[in-house]
Amino acid sequence: MKIGFPIGFPIGSPAADIPPGEFPREVRPTVDFPRPETSVEVQEFSPVRQLLRAPVRCSAFCVKFATIGLTRPRRERHARAMHPGQSASETSEIGALLDRYLLTLDDEELDDEWARSLFADEACVEFPMSRHEGIDGLAEYHRLALAAFESTQHLNSPAVVDLSGDDRATLRANLIATHVHLPGAAEPIFATGTLATGEARRTPDGWRLTLLSFRLLWKTGTPPGPARDDAVRQGADANRGEG
DSSP 94-124: HHHHHHHHHHHHHHS---HHHHHHHEEEEEE
Domain boundaries, the chain: 2-81, 88-242
Q: What is the chain's alpha carbon radius of gyration, rounded to the nearest angstrom?
A: 37
**DSSP secondary-structure letter at 224?**
P
For 37, the 3-state DSSP assignment is: coil
Q: Do 23 and 29 meet the contact criterion of CB atoms below 8 Å apart?
A: yes
User: Which of 2-11, 31-40, 95-104 shows the lowest mean pLDDT across its residues?
Assistant: 2-11
Confidence tier at 76 by pLDDT (50, 70, 90): very low
Q: What is the pTM of this model?
A: 0.60
Pairing of strands 40-41, 131-133: unpaired
**CA separation for the pair 20, 3 (Å, rounded):** 16
- The model's pLDDT over 155-186, given as tens digits with 9 standing for 90+, comes to 999 999 999 988 999 999 999 999 999 998 88
Average pLDDT over residues 100-111: 96
First to last CA, the chain: 91
Return the higher-pLDDT residue of 121 and 60: 121
Distances (CA, A) of 34 to 23, 45, 168: 13, 20, 82
Class of domain 88-242: alpha beta
